[in-house]
Structure 1
Amino acid sequence: MIFNEEVFRRRSELGGSIEVVCGSMFSGKTEELIRRLNRARIARLKVEIFSPKADTRFAEDALISHNANSIPSTPVENASSILLLGSDVHVIGIDEAQFFDDELPDVCNILANKGIRVIVAGLDMDFKGRPFGPMPTIMAMAESVTKLHAVCVRCGNPALYSYRLVPDESRVLLGEKESYEPRCRICYHEIFAQ
């Protein structure tokens, strides 16, 4: 292969990428996002973090993990707002991506094509075990996908499902341990077999 200086220069300039951190509730997605963003800050990279304004479970201006680690973030109404607010940065973190609109995959692509490292965290499946929101599309176009597992509260095996404890069929129900518990495949499906 012949070395092409122009191709090398453009790859260096366009060093953007899309990384996805996904899994069930209580699997450590936000914790991992915070860890990656803090490492970028240690490397003296300019970082911006965004979360959906609709997610009001924790602080409005910070991502907070279940282990109480936090990092400042900006709540936004929709994915296109990230393009307006995320200029002149090296790394963009996006939490709770499943709650964003269908524009999020395009926004991630635009940012990555501009040379920005985009790290997206979110649930890959809803409480019925179906692909959730824009996550499947983002996962398909990402350079890397990290799937995390919680611990099944019934048997201790790796849990990939977010089992809903309350009788509510709406797709989006903001809640924590009072509303959801992590379950493995067997324990999740045995409930439906009864």
Structure 2
Amino acid sequence: MFIEPSLSGGRRGWIEVVCGSMFSGKTEELIRRLKRAKIANLKVEIFKPHVDTRYDVENIVSHDENKILSTPLESSQQILLLATDVDVVGIDEAQFFDEELPNVCEQLALRGIRVIVAGLDMDFQGRPFGPIPQLLAKADYITKLHAICVKCGNIANNSYRKVAGGNTVLLGEKDLYEPRCRHCYHENN
């Protein structure tokens, strides 16, 4: 369980990363943490990549249809311009941002901002995905979530793509992907 650090002794920023496979609850956890920050009367800004339009153009939406308003962006550098006078910055689907995202998060944390980032740590081929590996290296707190394997019921750490070919980025849900454990994932790859 994640315990939120205290802000006593001055305002200090940090980076939290919530990662895992598809259907593991990353966005749900991000929304939960952001709503708690709002309840605490903290100023919150939320961002997502403009390419993520699966459920909504502006809202971050979990698979359980829990949602929170966000600002879609084309570049991680835009976060630095828009995250002024805030206490907390939330970033969803971080794997779709550019490679500058870890540096942007570092700059925000140095400003005294709590940065909460959610994203896939591996692509459908089981390789590290986008800027997430560098974010994990810079993170003060890491939460790795797991889904349930649709084949055997064990914990799932992989996002199995049910259709062949295509680019690394193929936006889709249960129609294109399913969570699988290591064994069931490699059984078909």
TM bracket, shorter-chain basis: over 0.9
Match for 2:86 among 89, 98, 107?
89
Aligned partners of 2:100 and 2:44: how far apart in 1?
Answer: 21
Aligned AA for 1:41?
K
Cα distance change of structure 1 residues 113 and 14 upon mapping to structure 2, 3 Å threshold: farther
Give the share of equivalent positions with the same residue, in percent: 65
Query: Deviations along 1:106-155, whole A, 9 cap, x unmatched?
Result: 00000000000000000000000000000000001100100000000000
TM-score calculated relative to the size of structure 2: 0.94
1:191 deviation in Å?
1.1
Question: Does residue 43 in structure 1 map to residue 43 in structure 2?
Answer: no
1:56 deviation in Å?
1.3
Query: Deviations along 1:145-167, whole A, 9 cap, x unmatched?
Result: 00000000000000000000011
Give every structure 1 segment of 4 or more consecutive aligned residues whose post-TM-superposition deviation is greater than 2 Å: 11-14
Asked whether the equivalents of residues 18 and 119 of structure 1 are also in contact (C-alpha less than 8 Å), the reply is yes
Structural RMSD (CA): 1.0
Instruction: Indicate the structure (1 or 2) with the bigger Cα radius of gyration.
Output: 1
1:168 deviation in Å?
2.3
Asked whether the equivalents of residues 14 and 113 of structure 1 are also in contact (C-alpha less than 8 Å), the reply is no
Give the corresponding residue for 2:5.
none
Is there any run of 5+ residues in structure 1 with no aligned partner, and where? 1-10
1:14 deviation in Å?
4.3
Question: Does residue 117 in structure 1 map to residue 114 in structure 2?
Answer: yes
Question: Does residue 57 in structure 1 map to residue 27 in structure 2?
Answer: no
Match for 2:29 among 27, 32, 48?
32
Query: Deviations along 1:61-105, whole A, 9 cap, x unmatched?
Result: 111000010001000011000001111100000000000001100
Q: How does 1:1-194 map to 2 (within 5 A)?
A: 12-192=9-189
Asked whether the equivalents of residues 149 and 159 of structure 1 are also in contact (C-alpha less than 8 Å), the reply is yes
Aligned partners of 2:11 and 2:107: how far apart in 1?
Answer: 11
DSSP 3-state at the match of 1:32 = helix
Higher helix share: 1
1:55 deviation in Å?
1.0
Aligned partners of 2:41 and 2:187: how far apart in 1?
Answer: 49
Aligned partners of 1:67 and 1:151: how far apart in 2?
Answer: 15
1:20 deviation in Å?
0.2
1:26 deviation in Å?
0.3
Aligned partners of 1:12 and 1:58: how far apart in 2?
Answer: 40
